[in-house]
Structure 1
Amino acid sequence: MHKRILLIQGHPDAAQGHLCHALAAAYRAGAAKAGHDVRQTQVAALDFPILRSQDEWERGPLPPGLQQAQEDIRWAQHMVFFFPLWLGDMPALLKGFLEQVARPGFAFPDDRMHPLAKKGLSGRSARVVVTMGMPALLYRWYFRAHSIKSLKRNILGFVGVAPVRATLIGMVGDPERQAVDKWVGALEAMGRSAA
């Protein structure tokens, strides 16, 4: 089935030499081969301030540099987030981006306190692709993948995105070429199936 896919590159370094960029390129290539429509947002290339108050989040204007990103999220049926694990969580720049775009009136109704209020991004699915220096199994089982669970439940789930699947790629500090090729191939296959 043909899908509209948004790739959100959350690596805070805009240089293209990182594994996150290679993984996103592989996913995009696979999706294009299968006939899916693909757009991409590079968070590191966007200009936006960090929110500093609840009032600014609720009533302040969306920064002009994020209007296209918000429109791309509205357009997408499936979103794929790519980021490295930093200090056990997503990089601060990606978190700041999500805080800015997930505003009342867009990600959920202004009447968000109503328990039956419709979530603004319902009907979309997501995949989270995370690279890390530690073994992925250690992060998943010993650390309980706490930041991924938080992203799935407290951010994406809160605005209606479901299901959310995670791909954790460990030991990337000194990856062997064969392991990189394996993950690039796996992400290309995910792109073809829009998974």
Structure 2
Amino acid sequence: MKILVVSAHPEPRSLNASLARFAVGHLRAAGHEVRESDLYAMKWKATVDAGDFPSDDGRLHVMDASERATLAAGLTPDVAAEQEKVLWSDAVVLQFPMWWFSPPAILKGWIDRVFTAGFGYGPTLPPPYTERQFAGRRALVSVTLGARETAFSDRGIHGELKDVLHPIQHGLFWFTGMAPLEPFAVYGANALPEERFEEARRAYAARLDGLFTDEPVPFRTLDGGDYDHDMRLLPGVETPGRSGLGLHVRDVPTGADGRP
């Protein structure tokens, strides 16, 4: 299969860089084709501005300008190259540290600039939150966090990790039709002893081995009958007592062994 690994950390000797290198090597050893986008090494431009749309000289309306440039093959070469990688891929892996409850600005800038109107969303494309635009592609977040795991648990002060990552898991991957897997996380990353790094590598290897076989997060589809015309979940569709972002995840029946 074809896999794109996008990494975002300024230090090539960092834990994140080590995990990115491990992922690339492990996937290639398994017979996959892998392409990399090391955003800091690439000196990726993180901000959307008028320079992204050189042929558009009017008042900048980002969605309209990006759609015109996308449909006319008028995007800048760096953005066009990253879009080609996404289209080439069967899976996308994002590797990054959690900074202020979000990815580093350079990775957010990659998302902002690459997923233009006409490519990732917009009226010329199928509706969002459906298995259409980038259907068939898997997506995996690999994130490092300085805090302990309990701080990102159901009663943890930081909130559940799945909620913190909702803008990427649901708002990027599922919005564009990719199938997001449960994230891979390394906690306590600021002072990770060697034995825990080896444990993390073994756990990451297992997750990478399941990239195309593990069940994705069962987010609801916009066109599956669960939402009204205003994109609001219909009353009574959810499990009684469920609220918040969990409303948008379908209940999946499990068998006697606890597996879906």
TM-score after normalising by structure 1: 0.86
**Residue identity matched to 1:35:** G
For 2:102 and 2:175, the matched residues in 1 are separated by 18
Tell me: CA distance 1:182–1:115, structure 2 relative to 1, closer, same or farther (3 Å): closer
Residue 170 of structure 2 corresponds to which residue in structure 1? Answer: 153
Q: Superposition RMSD on alpha carbons, in Å?
A: 2.4
Alpha-carbon distance between aligned partners in 1 of 2:132 and 2:75, rounded to the nearest angstrom: 19
Q: Secondary structure at the match of 1:79?
A: strand
Shift of 1:20: 0.8
State the aligned residue count. 191
Greater displacement, 185-194 / 70-79: 185-194
Counterpart for residue 21 of structure 1: 17
In 2, are the aligned partners of 1:107 and 1:119 still within 8 Å (CA)? Answer: no
Partner of 1:144: 160
Structure 2 CA distance for aligned equivalents of residues 138 and 99 of structure 1:
29
Would you say 1:47 and 2:5 are equivalent positions?
no
Shift in Å, 1:64: 1.7
Structure 1 residues 170-185: aligned runs within 5 Å = 170-185=187-202
Looking at structure 2, the residues matched to 4 and 115 of structure 1 have their Cα atoms a distance apart, in angstroms, of 24
In the TM superposition, what are the counterparts of 1:17-166 in structure 2 within 5 Å? Answer: 17-44=13-40, 45-51=42-48, 53-54=61-62, 55-60=64-69, 61-108=74-121, 110-112=123-125, 119-141=132-154, 142=156, 143-145=159-161, 146-166=163-183
Larger mean Cα displacement after TM superposition, 183-192 or 25-34 = 183-192
Structure 1 residues 87, 133: closer, same or farther in 2, change over 3 A? same
Deviations 1:16-58 (CA, angstroms, capped at 9, x unpaired): 1111111111111211111111111112224335125534444
In structure 1, runs of 5+ residues without a counterpart are none
Counterparts of 1:26 and 1:49, CA distance in 2: 25
Distance change >3 Å, CA 97–CA 77, structure 1 → 2: same
> Quick one: higher RCO (CA 8 Å, sep 6+), 1 or 2?
1
Normalised by the length of structure 2, the TM-score is 0.66
- Find the aligned partners of 1:9 and 1:116 in 2 and give their Cα distance: 25
Indicate the residue corresponding to 2:244 in structure 1.
none
Deviations 1:68-110 (A, max 9, x none): 2111110110111100000111111111110111112222354
**Higher alpha-carbon deviation: 22-31 or 137-146:** 137-146
Query: Which structure: greater strand fraction?
Result: 1
Q: 1:99 to 1:187 in 2, by over 3 A?
A: same
CA distance in 1, matches of 2:130, 2:96: 31
Contact 1:130–1:168 (8 Å) recurs in 2: yes
Q: Distance in 1 between matches of 2:175 and 2:151?
A: 27
